[in-house]
Amino acid sequence: MAGRPRKAEPEAALVAAMNAFWQKGYESTSMSDLTEATGLHKASLYQTFGDKHQLFVSALKLYFKKSSKAQKESRNGEENPINAIRNSVDTTINQCAEGKGCLAVNSLIEVAPFDAEIDRILKQFRQHLDKHLAGLVDEAKSVKLVSGSVDTKEAVRMISIFLHGLSANMAAGMSANKARALLHGQLDLVLTLRKKSHRS
């Protein structure tokens, strides 16, 4: 009944493909690049993941899965909601890489305008992240660490947009440290925290 077993876990190949798309973008990553990155032959990629577009969709979904997992872990017992917020956005920055930026933001610009499916996936992901952050902001408001006059949705949006901007700048070489510093400044402004209040 059973046939020849796989030599490699397809998950590892998918991670390699994800990194390839991340580094070069969708269009510029050729099937040849993908075979080199994954170690799999071209036809094996087609058999395992379908065509290039399907492989990209799978890679994006994996990126989101990893990112969501990192978000959940970012709290890690932290009780102070403000610090939880800081951990959360720091984690988002950590998902970016110097010289590469964030795969989601890159794809938002490069492929979402021409690809309804990718656009849908990315929108879903943004909503997911925004919801997570909004929960933390509400929590901070409930314990009066953030003023009740702050509009949660608005605040989250201002932070989210700023994160997009940081991703673009990191793609062009901004360091993660610099990005984090700017980001915490933005948090101070949006949540009307006193400056230099980073960490407790």
Partner DNA sequence: CGAGAAAATTGCCAATCGATAATTTAACAA
Partner DNA sequence: TTGTTAAATTATCGATTGGCAATTTTCTCG
Which residues here bind a second copy, judged by CB under 8 A?
24-25, 27-28, 99-101, 105-106, 108-110, 112-114, 119, 122-123, 154, 157-158, 160-169, 171-173, 182, 185-186, 189-190
Provide the binding-site residues for DNA, judged by CB under 7 A. Answer: 1-8, 29-33, 40-44, 46-48, 51-53
Least CB distance from residue 25 to a second copy, whole Å?
Answer: 6
Backbone angles phi, psi at 101, to 5 degrees: 70, -155
Measured from the CB atom, the residue of 25 and 135 that comes closer to a second copy is 25
User: Among DNA, a second copy, none, what does residue 6 contact (CB within 5–8 Å per kind)?
Assistant: DNA
User: Among a second copy, DNA, none, what does residue 120 contact (CB within 5–8 Å per kind)?
Assistant: none
